[in-house]
Amino acid sequence: MADAAITFLLESGAQLLKSYYELISGAEDELKKLRNELALLKAYLRQAVKKEQKEDSLIEIERQIREAIYEAEDTIDSCLTEAGVASTRNKLLRGFKSKRGTLASEVKTLRQGKVTPLLEKAEKYFANMQTGDGSAKSGDGSGKGLEDQRKNLGKKDRGKLDVISIIGMPGLGKTTLAWKIFQNENIVQFHFPVRIWVYVSQEFNRKDVLLTILKAFSKEDLPHMEYDDLVNSVRSSLENTKFLLVLDDVWTVDAWKVIQEVLPEKNVMSKVLITTRDKNVATHANVLREPHQLRFLTDQESWELLQLKVFDDDPCPPELQDTGYHIAKQCRGLPLAIVVIGGILVDQFSKAQGMLAILKSMWEDVRENVSRYFKDHVKDEDREKGTADVVALSYNKLPDALRECFLYLGVFPEDYVIPAWTLTRLWIAEGFIQRKEGESLEKTAEESLNDLITRNLVIVEGRNAIGEVKTCRVHDVIRQFCISKADEQNLFKEIKKTKEGGLHPPVSEIENYRRLCIHSNLSDFLSAGRKLKGPGVRSFLCFYRKPFAMQPKYISTIPDAFTLLRVLDYMSVKFNQFPIRVAKLIHLRYLTLSWDDLDHLPVDISELWNLQTLVIDTKSRTLNIQANIWKMIQLRHLKTKAAIKLLDIKGEGKAGENLQTLSSLSPESCKEEVFNKARNLKKLGIRGNLLNLLDAKCSLENLAFLENLKLVNDLSYELETGSSLCRLLQPNFLPPKLKRLTLTATFLPWRDMSTLGKIDGLQVLKLKDNAFTGDHWNAVSGGFRSLQFLLIASTDLEFWDASDDHDHLPSLRCLVLRSCKELGKIPLCLKKSLQILDIDHVSESAAESARKIKEEKERMPQEKGRWGKFTLNVGAGCK
């Protein structure tokens, strides 16, 4: 992971040399030498990426490199911060002249004292490095309540060898379920004369796997066989035999492909059962069968398993049942976690020597501190199959570029629903995402999140209209592993209150950490005032369950204490005045602020020229941007629900070319010069009196990269006013690559839907609060070729005409109808592609037509794919 730190510093250094050359004149030679040596270190480190088990010497080298990187960052940024006391960039230049010699001297001292010796040590290590083979063992825990899941695995694809995959996060019970199937006496042992269990493992050895299979057929001296002879013998033995082959713990697609070579595809009598953490493996194993995703246990099943672990077949004493149930519930349905806690309760049962009063007190302590007991167990290296060991197998398999992204998940509170947008932008600001040729940082970050989901380390909580991840979370066991591992590597530190009433870590030790997160007791932390000093602290993240009201006396505490911050997440902190000292944090890349009455962004914010993401939470209808955002040349995302009014639209050179998100812009600010600067926008919201947008004669046609557009008409109009807004749908107004469009209160006539239907790439269409009005929509055949999601909410539509012979919405997968009380029925022809129908507050006749569509769909062959089988959701407003 030192590789990611080096990459981040190299890119920052390149940006410094490119954009702020005048700032570093006189120090550029030393900076270039430092960059060259760091680039060599990076090249050496990448040689070690394939080593899953790293020697202590390599781990120590990485630690030393990380410390050197941090010191280099702090040295450069401290000089910039000292020079940045002036409020304008021109003054900054004058202030920096006296710092150039200091910067050159300090960089030289750092390079010669630490970086160069490290480079020599790395050269020596990698010259002698040899790749060794190791072995790893894993366990998935055990659990009850899996009988219903076992039944779902009995279906067979006819015509060729059936391959079934079981996938799930570490500790969910994949191996346990496979073993239950393997040992089933009534069906499996009767129907499959030959049953073979192969533990594939993380350290895949193809010869050992084949030897294990062949041992089921022969007792000869097999290890001395040549590999080609072994392949032929295994294939021949499996061809004419009815067998069940269980491949437990398959880690990679490459391992599966090696095994697949010996499997007789035409042996339709047999079955292969795979357990894996990686969905890609399951998909490659059988593209025609969806893998069986192992579910979490219910609270009742968790309690049954905990009782079985602690008491065997004896009943749980009534005095312990309520406490025990709540302990089991806090394990969140993960069998391994239940087994771990069960082992702790067994130990306590022994220590209490049957005295229920003492035992109940012990159990109450576990109930109140389940997370702490997990943490203690994670660090206990003497226990077999501990949670750390199980999760560590997946962690060690991660590419280096993903490891910090994964561990970073621990900064969020327990059970926190994490917005995917927020997570990926934080990863980028922290420097965890490395650039890929021809791909945006945001795209790479989204791929990283999907990779962690595929590996069953992150749980998808919600998806958007076209199936992309919207929110996610991590299981408590995974989170505890992240916290423990991050602590070892000094990646981040959570500030907590101790039982004695103090803070851990103490305020005096804050300066030892790079990233701080706090989820409670923020007042206690801020009360330290001037004692708070963290010259190396780069991130401060505050995630409260409920909004925290910031007292005026503490407003400048964090900016004054941590002057080199790159990330400041204040979204759960409510201000009553603008924290102007934030504008002095010139290294900020990510900033979120929340103030209900905020109606302007002061000019001082213009000095945050490193800022990439700015999120403003306010209840004001408009937000006047006094700051010149065109000076903030790194700005990629400006996000707020208020209508942004740009008071300064002047900018030179590359001003605005990095902007991807601008929401929501006021119609008055939608000027040609604005869109010429922000020509690379991908997401745009426009909110206000949309007639002003049309009067400005401004077109969105030249925004060639715009994919997501929201048009919100804030003012109330009479029905006939809609004709004035019809120009919004003219071909020369909308951008060509639009994929998602939301219209709110635009009062357009339904006949203009045909214009939207001509946008070839449109996938999502949301029509809210009388976006279209009138009683009749006569659908035109052949439109909306790519539309997958349609929402219609709050409309007076009565007749939606589309006959069965019309090619109407041919790709529609999800239809949502809200408050369409006048609508008589839903066109039956939508059944052709529809997979989800969600209705609420519609007429009884419309609800009846929805049920008719459901009946028709149930008669049709079930389609496979992302959306699964047809689902009809009927809201309470329909009953």
- Decide: 746 and 711 in contact? Cβ < 8 Å: yes
- DSSP secondary structure string, 519-530? SS-HHHHHTTGG
Alpha-carbon distance 234 to 229, whole Å? Answer: 9
Alpha-carbon distance 23 to 26, whole Å? Answer: 9
State the average pLDDT over residues 373-394: 57
The pLDDT, as a whole number, for residue 866 is: 46
Long-range CB contact pairs, 798-802, < 8 A, 24+ = 798/822, 798/823, 798/824, 799/775, 799/824, 800/824, 800/825, 800/826, 800/827, 801/776, 801/777, 801/827, 802/827, 802/829, 802/830
Question: With 70 as the cut, is the pLDDT of residue 323 above it?
Answer: yes
3-state secondary structure 631-678: HCCCCCEEEEEEEEEECCCCCCCCCCCCCCEEEEECHHHCCHHHHHHC
Of the two residues 341 and 136, the one the predictor is more confident about is: 341
Burial class (CB in 10 A: 0-12, 13-18, 19+), 818: middle
Q: pLDDT digit string (tens) for 285-304?
A: 888 788 888 888 888 888 88
Q: pLDDT digit string (tens) for 559-593?
A: 999 999 999 999 999 999 999 999 999 999 999 99
Question: With 50 as the cut, is the pLDDT of residue 718 above it?
Answer: no
Q: In the CATH hierarchy, which fold is given to the domain comprising 147-293?
A: Rossmann fold (3.40.50)
The pLDDT, as a whole number, for residue 20 is: 53
Cα atoms in the Cβ-side hemisphere of radius 13 Å centred on 812: 23
The pLDDT, as a whole number, for residue 708 is: 96
CATH architecture for the domain at 398-489: Orthogonal Bundle (1.10)
Residue 811: phi and psi, rounded to 5, are: -110, 5
User: Of 595, 594, 593, 633, nearest to 612 (Cα)?
Assistant: 633
Give every CB contact of residue 455 below 8 A, 6+ residues apart in sequence: 277, 278, 279, 394, 397, 398
Pairing of strands 469-473, 459-463: antiparallel
Alpha-carbon distance 15 to 22, whole Å? Answer: 12
Residue entry with tokens 């005096």? 508
**Range in 164-178, 190-204, 375-389, 682-696 the model is least confident about:** 375-389
Alpha-carbon distance 284 to 272, whole Å? Answer: 13
- Decide: 203 and 133 in contact? Cβ < 8 Å: yes
State the average pLDDT over residues 852-864: 76
Beta strands in 409-453 (DSSP E): 418-419
Structure tokens at 526: 């801020």
Give every CB contact of residue 650 below 8 A, 6+ residues apart in sequence: 628, 630
- Decide: 216 and 270 in contact? Cβ < 8 Å: no
Question: With 50 as the cut, is the pLDDT of residue 760 above it?
Answer: yes
- Supply the mean pLDDT for the chain: 81
Is 472 strand, coil or helix?
strand
**Range in 43-47, 267-271, 609-613 the model is least confident about:** 43-47
Q: pLDDT digit string (tens) for 48-75?
A: 545 555 677 777 777 777 777 777 777 7
Question: With 90 as the cut, is the pLDDT of residue 659 above it?
Answer: yes
Q: pLDDT digit string (tens) for 438-460?
A: 899 999 999 999 989 888 888 88
- Decide: 687 and 666 in contact? Cβ < 8 Å: yes
- Decide: 584 and 555 in contact? Cβ < 8 Å: no
The pLDDT, as a whole number, for residue 374 is: 60
Cα atoms in the Cβ-side hemisphere of radius 13 Å centred on 749: 9
Does 2-128 carry CATH code 2.40.128? no
- Decide: 554 and 579 in contact? Cβ < 8 Å: no
For residue 186, count other CB atoms closer than 10 A to its CB.
7
Buried (b) or exposed (e) across 234-253, using 16+ Cβ within 10 A?
beebbeebebbbbbbbbbbb
* Helices marked H in 490-521: none
State the average pLDDT over residues 29-42: 76
The domain locations on the chain are 2-128, 147-293, 299-378, 398-489
State the average pLDDT over residues 244-261: 89
- Decide: 572 and 549 in contact? Cβ < 8 Å: no
Alpha-carbon distance 439 to 812, whole Å? Answer: 29
CATH number of 299-378: 1.10.8
- Decide: 752 and 777 in contact? Cβ < 8 Å: no
Q: pLDDT digit string (tens) for 219-233?
A: 666 667 788 888 888
3-state secondary structure 747-802: CEEHHHHHHHCCCCCCCEEEEECCCEECCEEECCCCCCCCCCEEEEECCCCCEEEC
Cα 31 to its chain centre, rounded Å, is 35
**Range in 11-25, 105-119, 403-417 the model is least confident about:** 11-25
Buried (b) or exposed (e) across 438-469, using 16+ Cβ within 10 A?
eebbbebbbebbbbbbbbbbbbeeeeebeeeb
State the average pLDDT over residues 696-704: 84
pLDDT band per the 50, 70, 90 thresholds, residue 26: low
Percent of the chain with pLDDT over 90: 33
The pLDDT, as a whole number, for residue 129 is: 58
Of the two residues 868 and 233, the one the predictor is more confident about is: 233
Sign of the CA dihedral 447, 448, 451, 457? negative
Alpha-carbon distance 609 to 588, whole Å? Answer: 8
> Facing residues of 495 across strands?
518
Of the two residues 38 and 200, the one the predictor is more confident about is: 200
For residue 684, the 8-state DSSP code is E
State the average pLDDT over residues 635-649: 91
* Helices marked H in 184-226: 188-191, 206-214
Structure tokens at 255: 């391992």
Alpha-carbon distance 484 to 376, whole Å? Answer: 10
Give every CB contact of residue 548 below 8 A, 6+ residues apart in sequence: 522, 542, 572, 573, 574
pLDDT band per the 50, 70, 90 thresholds, residue 132: very low
Q: pLDDT digit string (tens) for 501-543?
A: 889 999 989 988 999 999 988 999 999 878 898 888 999 999 9
Instruction: Using alpha carbons only, give the angle 525, 529, 532 rounded to the nearest 5 degrees.
Output: 70
